Amino acid sequence: MMDPRIQALPIGVWLLMAFIAIVLLFTVISLLSLYAQYRRWRSFAACLPLAPICYFLAQAFLVLRTPKDPRGQAYYALRELVLAPPPWVPAAVLLALTLLTALLWRRMLRWTHGHISPTSVKEAVDSLPVGICCFRPWGRVVLVNTAMEALCRAALGEVLINGERFRRALAEGALQPGCSRATLNGERLLLLPDGSVWSISKQSLDWEGEPLTVLTAAEVSEAYRKTLALEEKNRQLVELNQKLAARNREIVDLTIQSEILAARARLHDAMGEDLLMMKKLLSHGGSAKDLDTLRRRLKRNVSFLRDASEFQVTDEYAVLLQTARRLGVRVELSGELPLEEPICRVAATGLHECLTNLLRHAHGDLLRIELRETRDRLTIVFSGNGEPPKGPVRETGGLRILRTITEQAGGTMRVSRSPCFTVTLNLNKEKPYAV
C-alpha cells in the first residue's frame, strides 16, 4: 500500500522533480569539468557539493514508487529524506538548486566570453596560415595547428607526434621523395612537391619553468619565385653590362685609332706648310724665333710620322698617354688613374675627350690630370693650357657621351671655361653598374 504522504502530490509531480534533479546533476557535472579545464579551482570546490545533493534527490524521488522493503534500509533513508518534511520543502529545495545552478552556469558563460580558453586558442591557432608547433625538449607536443600538421604529412609522410623528431628530420633532410631543401639569402627553405616553399624558424622559450621549443613555418612561395626571377635578371644584366663594356672599349679603341689617323693626315698637310716655311727661310731668311718654331714643328711631326707601327691596344691609359706624347702633348698626372670598372672606362673616356679638345680647339701642349680620392668618392679634374673657349661650352659629340656614361656610373660632370677649359668628374666608387 502506497504511503499516504506520497499521495499528497500526484506521482507525476514526483517524477518531474526526479527528472529535474537528474538534469541538474548532469549540469553540475558539466560545470565541474569546465572549472577543471579552465583551472578555476575555487569555483570547482564551491560547486562540488551540489553534485551529491542532486544525485541523492534524484534517487529519493525515484524510489518513491518502489514498494517499502524492510530489507532496504537505504530506501527508508531516502524516502524519509523527502517525505519527512511537508511536500513543498523538497520542491523548494529543488527550485533553489535549479536557480543556483542556472546562476553558476550564467556566470561561467559570462566568464568564458571575457577570457581566452584553451579551446579558443586552439581554434585561433588553427585558423592561421602559418604553421606552429610547440614541444618540450624530449619531443612531447604541447600545441600544434593544422597548417603544421599538413606540412609534416607532406614532408615526412606521417602525423606529427614527436616535435623533436620532426625538427631533426627537417634539419637533416630526411624528407619524402619530391621534397627538397634550399638556401636563399642565408635562410633555409623547404620545397614541397606541390610547388610551395616554406621557411622554417626555431625559437627556444621558457614556459611554466620548463624549456619549450617553438617551430614556425611560413609559406614564402611567391617571394622565393620572385627572388629567383630577380637573380636571373641580375645575372642577365651583368652579362649585358659586360658585353656593353666590351663594346664600349672597342668603340674607344676605334675612336683612338681614328683620331690617330686624322692626326697623321693633318700632320702630312702640316709638312707641306713646313716645307714652304723652310723654302721661305732659305730664300729670304728669318728671325731666330721663326727658326726655333720651325725646328719644334719639324721635330714633332717627323717624330710622329717616322713610327709607322700600329698601336697594340692592351692598356687604354698607355695608349692615350703614348698618343699624347706622339702628338707633342705633355701630360701632368697627379694621383693614380683608377683601374676598376666602371670608373676606369669613364676616366679613359674623359682623358681621350680632353686630349682631343686640347689639340683641336685649344691648340695647347699641356694636359693636367688631378685625382682626389676619398673612401667612396673619386674626383678627376682635367685641365690644360692653350686658348680658352671664347663662348659658352656646348656639350655635343664627345662631351655629351662623356656626361652620359658618367651619369650611368652614378657620377656627375661639371664643365667650366674660366680661367681655362676644365672638366671635373665626381664618381661614386661603390656604384655597381657597368658602363
Q: What's the grid cell of residue 14?
A: 514526483
- Nearest residue to 168 (alpha-carbon basis) of 213, 129, 209, 221: 213
Task: Please name the amino acid found at residue 91.
Answer: A
More confident residue, 407 or 433: 407
Per-residue pLDDT reduced to its tens digit, 345-354: 889 888 888 8
Q: Which residues pair with 378 in a beta bridge?
A: 373, 427
Average pLDDT across the chain, whole number: 80
More confident residue, 426 or 13: 426
Residue 376: per-residue pLDDT: 84
* pTM (global) more than 0.95: no
Confidence of residue 310 (pLDDT cuts 50, 70, 90): very low
Q: What percent of the chain has pLDDT over 90?
A: 9
Q: What's the grid cell of residue 128?
A: 592561421
Per-residue pLDDT reduced to its tens digit, 170-208: 888 788 888 888 877 777 888 888 888 988 888 888 877
Mean pLDDT for the stretch of residues 303-307: 59
Instruction: For residues 312 and 306, give the distance between their C-alpha atoms in angstroms, rounded to a whole number.
Output: 17
The lowest-confidence range among 78-87, 116-125, 300-309, 337-346 is 300-309
The conformational region for residue 121 under phi > 0 = left, psi -120 to 50 = alpha, else beta, is alpha
SS3 breakdown of the chain: % helix, strand, coil, rounded to 5?
55, 15, 25
Q: What percent of the chain has pLDDT over 70?
A: 82
Residue 248: per-residue pLDDT: 67
More confident residue, 128 or 286: 128
User: Are 78 and 56 within 8 A, CB to CB?
Assistant: yes
Residue 369: per-residue pLDDT: 93
Instruction: For residues 293 and 16, give the distance between their C-alpha atoms in angstroms, rounded to a whole number.
Output: 138
